Amino acid sequence: MLRKSLLVALLLAGCSKGPQADLQYIKQARSLGSEWALINEQARQGKLTRVYVSSMHQWLRQQLQTSSSALSVPNARYAIEIHALLQQPDDAPPQELRARCAVLKQIEDQLESA
């Protein structure tokens, strides 16, 4: 009987959803947001071509959308922050993007320490 209970507990743990399961998507979104900020910063300095910046914006949005869609808790604070990133214009100020990434980093750190 103990063996059966342990097996059921392990199966349920493997299927768990929630913030811990979403941690990988939170990290990915934070990384993408940071990369977006860097691209916008360098674009403003004239260091990148328009074609490159445009294609990167498109790729970043696709990846952020994928991360957002994969979340198991769509109304969590981190989901709202990821959605807010997606609402930013392509040429969003780098400091705005970094501020959103900082919030995601705080959430990430809290989840990792839990």
The pLDDT of residue 7: 41
User: Do the Cβ atoms of 105 and 37 come closer than 8 Å?
Assistant: no
User: Do the Cβ atoms of 63 and 39 come closer than 8 Å?
Assistant: no
Residues 48-107: pLDDT tens digits?
A: 999 999 999 999 999 999 999 999 999 999 999 999 999 999 999 999 999 999 999 999
Provide the phi-psi class of 46: left if phi over 0, else alpha when psi is between -120 and 50, else beta.
left
CB neighbours of residue 21 within 10 Å:
14
Quick check: is 7 in a domain? no
Domain ranges, residue 87 = 17-113
The pLDDT of residue 11: 40
pTM score, whole prediction? 0.84
Domains in the chain, number: 1
* Polymer length of the chain: 114
The pLDDT of residue 114: 87
Q: Which two tokens stand for residue 82?
A: 């990821």
Quick check: is 3 in a domain? no
What pLDDT band is residue 1 in, cutting at 50, 70 and 90?
low
Cα dihedral sign for 85, 88, 91, 92?
Answer: negative
Residues 5-50: pLDDT tens digits?
A: 444 444 444 445 799 999 999 999 999 999 999 999 999 999 999 9
First and final C-alpha spacing in the chain: 31
Quick check: is 53 in a domain? yes
Phi and psi for 41 in degrees, rounded to 5? -65, -45
The pLDDT of residue 65: 98
Quick check: is 37 in a domain? yes
Quick check: is 1 in a domain? no
Quick check: is 9 in a domain? no
The pLDDT of residue 4: 52
